[in-house]
Amino acid sequence: MMTSGNLAYFTKTRNLRLHHKIHTVRELRAAVCRTQPSTDISNGAVDEASVCTSTSDSESERVRCEISSSRQYVDREEFGEHGAAFLSGNYYPVVQEVTASCSCNERKAVDENPSMRVVGTIPTDFPLGQYAYVGPNPKFPVEHYKRWGQGPGQQDFGLGVGWHHWFEGDGMIYATDFCAGEKVKYRNRFIRTTSWERETKHGARIFRPLMNADGPTFLANALANFVQSGKFMKDSANTALLHFAGRTYALQDTCPPWELDAETLDTVSASTFDGKLPWYVPFTAHPKILPWTGELVFFGFNPVSPPHCTVGTLTPQGEVSSVNPLWSLPFVGSIFMHDFCVTEHFTIIFEGSMDIKPIRQILGIHPLQYNEGKRARFGVLNRGARSNNVSWFNCSCAQMVYHFINAWEDKNAKGEQLIVIVGVREDGFFHEAMRPNGSSAWVQQAVRIGDKIPRVHEWKINLVTGEVAEEYLFHVPMETPRINDKFVGMQNRYAYAGRILLSELETSTQLKFDAIVKIDLHERKTTVYEHGPNRYGMEAQFIARPGSEEEDDGWLIMYVHDESNMSADYQGCTQCVILDARNLEAGPVASISLPERVPYGAHCMWRADMIRPGETFKGAAHDTNVVAVDAKINPQNRPKLFAFTDSQKGELLDATARGISRLALGLFVHGWSPRIAFDDVSRYAFVRGAGLRLQELNGLEKARARQSNAEKMSDGLLIPTLELYDIEDDGSCRLVREVLNILDVAYVCKPCSQHLSKYRSELELLRGVPTGSEQIPYLRDTRDERVKKIGPDAIIQYLYNEYLDGEKPSFLVSLVGWFSKASARTNKTSGFTGSSTVLEQPLVFWAYEASPFCAVVRKALYELGLPHVVLPCARGSIRRDALYKRVGAFQVPFLEDPNTGVSLFESSDIVDYLKRMYTS
Ligand SMILES: [Fe+2]
């Protein structure tokens, strides 16, 4: 809900924007720039920092991000304090998988794709590649994430319940590709792990919460998970991304890496690196690639099964070269580990003070606790020695680190060897701040005292004396630090991290970064770029300028979410922002407004070998291939059977009556026949049960088979060769469409109204006759420019010759055709009401002629003059199976808009979308 205070602020912010009219990043750069000291949250020390801030880009309001239906806040009573925080606002999950692309050219981008565009200038030497981010994004509607037992399909068995935890949400990847031809492409995809597939098929959560399940509930839930799924905990692959040796992986501490198809981002499978990674070794979310050898070093932390800690390496080719189990403590417990360090010769693991002790369940508390009595320590392994000997070095007290910045080898004045480690020390802060309830009060207390706030800290391990010298380097609250990856394991100067907005943590317990901080370890100073009012950044990736030698010569790229104008149905817009790492004060050099928001998540990566390694965004040769555009929907967004609005009743009744009067012609594919077969849940079935399904066959034989094979090869998105110019409500045109359904032939429809339209003019040129005297329907086949068929008889004869090996039309077709001709040409076409929208690609319309629901959508497409590919789905069509496989359900109408990545099922939703997007 928007309070009066929020409303006043919103109004003030909006008025400011209207007055200033900041339209471009160049203007934005000059908007507000100031210098101020950063806030000291602990001991009065003040870091010198130059601070630059921006306002929201006012033009971002024009970008449509209203696709996800959602609410701003969920209830703390029902979801718990933590669950409510991490399911609200921009933590609210997105439901749709989208694909969209646009040109980098600002003006052209607005014209091409109103839902995605580039503001500012992507530097000419910016490399081709992919910025990708991942985070938890629960797939079911939020009511499934209430306190366990209150959500749909959940049962409490009396041992307590448990609450949803942010870490347990399903993984989703959000990728922005910088492609040849100055194109930018955006995609988001669920990571379809075994757990994801299992719960999706079930239609509700199976895995009970563990992170927020106290005492005996933890064990009961873990056992219930194992009984139902064979796993104690859910594998979500929601924490980090890795692109290594040509392969892309989604990572989570407690599960194996999940490989994604690097090109499509589809989930491939859990990876064992060709069977060489043992099943008991989970793969860290923070592996390190050694810049000097190209090898990858990893560790595995297993909280359940021994060995609890393992270290290993991969060759630059991605093959496992070593796996060394370190220790097992089956009854005592294990230490929670999230990150580690490497230097030239050493691998350094960190045993912080968060430990897991099964006995705590008997005491009624969660087995994972921040243990004030456990002193943290570093374990140093000599990689060259290839032994499992770990040398331990104790820290001064209990400590916790989620993320290290870097580590390197050095010597002191006495010539003694040191290992220098820099990281964000937080001493159990996030563990406490993410408790299911009571976390706000705890955070307020922690912020007031200040000693547990995440800050950059340095440890110097003296390998000769065994001493560990410690100090905080900065007092700005920060997290998710990154560096220039070329300096991993070597002494470096710069790091980049998100500044935590403590006031937000105190009030809503939401973790948000209101600024990006550049850390200078040499000068011990920071430069801060504030994202602007209501704007929050996600983890930043450093991208080196091609050929650069200086450590900070490059860019920072990150998603920044604008929470301005948030309401019950609108969670704001996200931009992909590029900053010059050497000149943060100048503000973004470019920002890309995305077609869908990116919920706040976890970690990011940069993939440099995506298309043409080494080529830059504008130096690359233009790619003549149009960027492939695809659209998928989350099976959660399943269609509702026979859903329609009150305003549609008249149209539906009219369409139903029309279908009856035409003897349901076009409802069945030629030669339709039913058959009982053994069930296969991956296939469409009209009816299924008792292990059987009703299979529908057709008699289209060879000619149709050739076309269907071609469609399969292109994932159902083949652009057909047939182009039909027709009128929606004309009897003869309808007869042609019915025959196309009977023959199951896809075609491009170019709607012509009785009034002037783009396609009427096009037809006039094709026919070489004045407007009004052209004959419609008109069909041409782009395979042969001589094929231009006019009128229903010629077209139908051509279709039967071409697609049914010369058979004659059935008696039913002839009968309805006779009625169509006899019943005078009423041609009661609706007037052309849409704009002459030029679409980069036609819409894709899965439908069949006899369906009244499809008729409602078809009417809107014709009225708006929108070209569309019709993929007929009459009974017996193979496309029913294709759609089922594509989106996990079959129902038509189903519309895909490859220009925006939007895909929708419901006729009312589709009509609303079309009018919103394409009415001038
Ligand atoms: Fe992490």
For residue range 319-362, list pLDDT tens digits in order: 999 888 887 665 566 788 899 999 999 999 999 999 888 778 77
Residues 6+ apart with CB under 8 A from 714: none
What is the distance in A from the centroid of ligand 1 to the CA of 603? 7
What is the distance in A from the centroid of ligand 1 to the CA of 479? 9
Q: Which residue has the tokens 């066959």?
A: 697
Q: Which residue has the tokens 């077609």?
A: 595
Residue 913 pLDDT > 70, yes or no? yes
What is the distance in A from the centroid of ligand 1 to the CA of 298? 14
Pair of tokens at residue 108: 């052209």
What is the distance in A from the centroid of ligand 1 to the CA of 258? 16
Mean pLDDT rounded to a whole number for the chain: 79
Which pLDDT value is given to residue 542?
Answer: 98
Which among 22, 56, 14 is positioned nearest to 575, based on CA atoms? 56
Which pLDDT value is given to residue 817?
Answer: 67
Q: Which residue has the tokens 């021994």?
A: 306
Residue 197 pLDDT > 70, yes or no? yes
What is the distance in A from the centroid of ligand 1 to the CA of 424? 11
Reported as a pLDDT band with limits 50, 70 and 90, residue 658 is: low
What is the distance in A from the centroid of ligand 1 to the CA of 136? 12
Reported as a pLDDT band with limits 50, 70 and 90, residue 29 is: very low
Reported as a pLDDT band with limits 50, 70 and 90, residue 897 is: confident
Across the range 700-714, mean pLDDT stands at: 59
Across the range 403-422, mean pLDDT stands at: 96
What is the distance in A from the centroid of ligand 1 to the CA of 340? 10
Distances (CA, A) of 626 to 115, 184, 617, 856: 18, 12, 16, 31
DSSP 458: E
What is the distance in A from the centroid of ligand 1 to the CA of 144? 26
What is the distance in A from the centroid of ligand 1 to the CA of 238? 10
* CATH T-level fold of 648-672+699-814+833-918: Glutaredoxin (3.40.30)
Highest mean pLDDT among 279-293, 397-411, 833-847: 397-411
Model confidence, pTM: 0.64
Residue 60 pLDDT > 60, yes or no? no
Residue 784 pLDDT > 90, yes or no? no
What is the distance in A from the centroid of ligand 1 to the CA of 403? 6
Residues 6+ apart with CB under 8 A from 9: none
What is the distance in A from the centroid of ligand 1 to the CA of 604? 10
Q: Which residues of 597-625 are buried (b: 16+ CB within 10 A; e: fewer)?
A: bbbbbbbbbbbbebbbeeebbbebeeeee
DSSP 363: T
What is the distance in A from the centroid of ligand 1 to the CA of 369? 18
Tens digit of pLDDT for each residue in 461-476? Answer: 999 999 999 999 999 9
Q: Which residues are annotated as a binding site?
A: 286, 338, 403, 603
Residue 493 pLDDT > 90, yes or no? yes
What is the distance in A from the centroid of ligand 1 to the CA of 600? 14
Across the range 206-216, mean pLDDT stands at: 85
Pair of tokens at residue 145: 């994430």
Residue 723 pLDDT > 60, yes or no? yes
Helix, strand, or coil (residue 305): coil
What is the distance in A from the centroid of ligand 1 to the CA of 843? 40
Which pLDDT value is given to residue 501?
Answer: 94
Pair of tokens at residue 775: 């004959």
Which pLDDT value is given to residue 258?
Answer: 94
Which pLDDT value is given to residue 878?
Answer: 80
What is the distance in A from the centroid of ligand 1 to the CA of 610? 24
What is the distance in A from the centroid of ligand 1 to the CA of 731? 63
Pair of tokens at residue 423: 């990281």
What is the rounded distance in angstroms from the CA atom of residue 778 to the CA atom of residue 694? 38
What is the distance in A from the centroid of ligand 1 to the CA of 495? 16
Helix, strand, or coil (residue 570): strand
What is the distance in A from the centroid of ligand 1 to the CA of 497? 13
Residue 581 pLDDT > 80, yes or no? yes
Q: Give the orientation angle of helix 792-803 with respect to helix 701-713, to 10 degrees.
A: 80
Which pLDDT value is given to residue 43?
Answer: 31
Tens digit of pLDDT for each residue in 233-279? Answer: 888 999 999 999 889 999 998 888 999 998 889 999 999 888 888 87
Which pLDDT value is given to residue 225?
Answer: 86
Which pLDDT value is given to residue 249?
Answer: 96
Burial of residue 649 (CB within 10 Å: 0-12, 13-18, 19+) is exposed
Which pLDDT value is given to residue 12?
Answer: 31
Where would I find the beta strands (DSSP E) of 180-231?
Answer: 183-190
Rama region for 79: left / alpha / beta (φ>0; ψ in -120 to 50; rest): alpha
What is the rounded distance in angstroms from the CA atom of residue 73 to the CA atom of residue 332? 41
What is the distance in A from the centroid of ligand 1 to the CA of 453? 17
What is the distance in A from the centroid of ligand 1 to the CA of 243? 16
What is the distance in A from the centroid of ligand 1 to the CA of 402? 6
What is the distance in A from the centroid of ligand 1 to the CA of 481? 10
Q: Which residues are annotated as a binding site for Fe cation?
A: 286, 338, 403, 603
Which pLDDT value is given to residue 35?
Answer: 24
Residues 6+ apart with CB under 8 A from 671: 697, 698, 699, 700, 876
Pair of tokens at residue 305: 């099964």
Gyration radius of the chain over CA positions: 30
Reported as a pLDDT band with limits 50, 70 and 90, residue 726 is: confident
Dihedral sign for Cα atoms in the order 435, 436, 437, 439: positive
Residue 32 pLDDT > 50, yes or no? no
What is the distance in A from the centroid of ligand 1 to the CA of 817? 66
Pair of tokens at residue 205: 């959560």
Across the range 443-459, mean pLDDT stands at: 92
Distances (CA, A) of 749 to 176, 694, 736: 32, 32, 12
What is the distance in A from the centroid of ligand 1 to the CA of 38? 25
